[in-house]
Structures are given as structure tokens and as C-alpha cells.
Structure 1
Amino acid sequence: MSADIRKDLPIPADDPNRSLTIADPDGPGIRHVFLAGGIYTILVSGAETNGRYCLIEMLVPDGGGPPQHRHDFEEMFSLLEGELEFTFRGETRVVRAGSTVNVPANAPHAFKNISGGMARMLCMCTPAGQEEFFATVGFSVESRRAQPPKPTQEELAERGKLVASLLPKYRTEMVKV
């Protein structure tokens, strides 16, 4: 059953102040950040969707991925290349290219690239906001093909403190396993 909460409301008028977004991952003005061992490209931000969602391309190296965490927004991954282990509520499953994974809000989850090479996926979060978190805590890089930076231990420790301080603002928590 769908949650059709707007079925009795008329469709709003078009908002001419909003424009079409075409996101070229290698185009000008696209933000790229190094985070959790990979390069994340913010293709569509909440500013472009009136806060409804964001879309991020994730290039995750072999062995890379975030630790167990949870947040109060929906997150969907479409795996384009590679193979990942997705852990959801403590159960691990292998996901291969061509698959889509939907993670419900508030559920503990993590993923790890087990493909032996680079994994590539699209991540959509709804509502938007995760892209702002990534842009704030990640290391900015010039492109999705850039060599990952090699932060010092001090820089990593500082980013770790920044992440910890921003988790409540972005309604995210790390899950102890």
C-alpha cells in the first residue's frame, strides 16, 4: 500500500523560479569530496530540489565504505559497478552491479566494497541534507578522477572531531557493533 498523503490535494502550479538541473559529473561547478576512503560527487543538491532529495555519485575503493550508522532520512543506492557487502540491522548481504538498495530511515546500516576494484554507485537521500554534511566534513578535491588526498593523522583527528560535532545537526549517529 502506498502512503498517498496528497491524493485529495490539487497539484500545485509550476514554480518558474525553479529550473531544470543537468548534472555532468565532470562539469564545472560540481563539488567533489574525499570521504570514507572514496570520492563523492554531489550531482544534485537540496538547493536544486527545494530540499526534497539529493543525488551523490560515490566512487568507493576496494575495502572502503562507512562504519555502521543510522539517520532519520531515506537513503537509496543504485550500484553501477562493483560488488558491495551491505549490512542492514546486523545482517550482511552481497549486492552486485545492477542492484538497488533502499535503506529505511532510522535503520542501522553500512557497506563495504568487496569487488577487488573500484565500486561506483548513485546515492539518493530524501529529504536532502546529507550532501551538505559530506561537503562540510570531506576533503575537497578537484574532480572525481583526482588522486585521493593523503591527510595527516592530525588532519584526520580534526575531521573526526568535526564529524562527531555535526552528527546531531545532520540527525545521524554511529552505531557500536
Structure 2
Amino acid sequence: MIPDDDPARSLTVANPDDPATTFVSLVGNTYAMLITGEQTDGRYCLIDMRVPDGGGPPPHRHDFEEMFTILEGEIEFTFRGEKHLVKAGSTINIPANAPHNFRNSSGAPARMLCMCTPAGQEEYFTKVGTIVAGWDAPPPQLSADELADQRRRAGELAGTYRSEFL
């Protein structure tokens, strides 16, 4: 049986140009938090990712599904040790618990949508990264101490957000 409609939940329209959008700079990338777990009752989150040439996270894994749709450019995903070049127009799904990472090694910027289910990754990024004004904001120039503090926070919070670095 399908539950009754919950009128407390409203329609969400995600627009990265909305002034209320939160932008986070992390590992050289800029992420726009389009749809949060707060808006989906924790079911999923949607993040618009701008990844410069050379950008991408270190190898990691987590206990939630992660789906990427490449909108512009191409991204090299390493999944369980195997490299896969994924070009604009393609979508891939990373199963929960699988070791992976991605890197933009194309020589040009790339853009992709990332959906995590259940939600939580958007909170993790916001707590670890640096809030910036928007797409065009330069990444913060972190001192060695600030970078070390960011890495420490990422490691300390990883377990809380069901992730681990490899």
C-alpha cells in the first residue's frame, strides 16, 4: 500500500543560478548543492560538480550509491582498480562499498551531476570544504596549516558520513 501524500514536503526546483544555492570548494573542485537531504527527507542529494583539469578526490569508498552523469568534458573513473574514461552524455553508477575515485585528466574543465542515495554527502562536503560565492569564485588559497586542518576534518568526519579513504 502506498502511503498518503505528505503535504509538508514541497516541490523542489533546482537551479545552480539561484542565489540560495550553496557552493563548496573542495579538492580543487567547485560543488553546487542543488538538492539536499533536507529537501528529500534524506532519500538522496544532487550535486552539480565542476571539476578542473587535474581535479578529483583521493581513492575512497562509502556505503551509499553514487551516480554520475557527465554533462561536459570527460572524467576518468577508477573503479576497483580499473580505469574507465566516461564522456559527456554518459551516466555511471558506483555501487555502495566499492573502492573508487575520479580524476579529470582531459586538459579541459568538466562538469557532472552526482546523485547520492541516501543523502548525506552534501552535508559532508559542506562541513569539510570551503563555502565560496559561486562558480566563478577562485578556489581559496589555503595555507599549509589550513590544508592540514581540512584533511584532518575530512578524516575525522568520514566515518560519521559512512565513508573511508583508501
Structure 1 equivalent of residue 84 of structure 2: 93
The one-letter amino acid paired with 2:55 is G
1:41 corresponds in structure 2 to 32
> Partner of 2:38: helix, strand, or coil?
helix
Asked whether the 8 Å contact 2:66–2:114 carries over to 1, the reply is yes
Structure-1 separation of matches of 2:61 and 2:10: 32
State the distance in 2 between where 1:116 and 1:82 align: 9
Residue 168 (structure 1) shift: 0.8
1:7 corresponds in structure 2 to none
Rounded to whole Å, the distance in 1 between the matches of 2:17 and 2:128 is 21
Give 1:129 shift: 0.3
If you compute each CA radius of gyration, which structure gives the higher value, 1 or 2? 1
Equivalent residue runs for 1:1-177 within 5 Å: 10-175=1-166
Assess if the C-alpha contact under 8 Å between 1:26 and 1:144 holds in 2. Answer: no
Q: Residues of 1 paired with 2:137 and 2:131: CA distance? A: 10
> Aligned partners of 1:72, 1:157: CA distance in 2, in Å?
26
Partners in 1 of 2:84 and 2:156 — Cα distance?
A: 31
Amino acid in structure 2 at the alignment position of 1:127:
P
User: Could you tell me whether the CA contact under 8 Å between 1:51 and 1:127 is conserved in 2?
Assistant: yes
1:147 Cα offset (Å): 1.5
Q: Distance in 2 between matches of 1:145 and 1:16?
A: 37
C-alpha separation in 2, matches of 1:124 and 1:28: 21
Distance 2:135 2:4 in 1: 37
Aligned residues: percent identity? 60
Tell me which stretches of 4 or more aligned residues in structure 1 moved more than 6 Å.
Answer: none
1:1-22 deviations in Å (ceiling 9; x for gaps):
xxxxxxxxx1111100000111
Q: Residues 23 and 134 of structure 2 are in contact (CA less than 8 Å); yes or no, is this contact kept in structure 1?
A: yes
- 1:121-172 Cα deviation digits (max 9, x unpaired): 0000000000000000001101122121111111101111111110110111
TM-fit CA distance, 1:29: 1.3
The farther-off stretch of 163-172 and 141-150 is: 141-150
| TM-score normalised by the chain length of structure 2 | 0.98
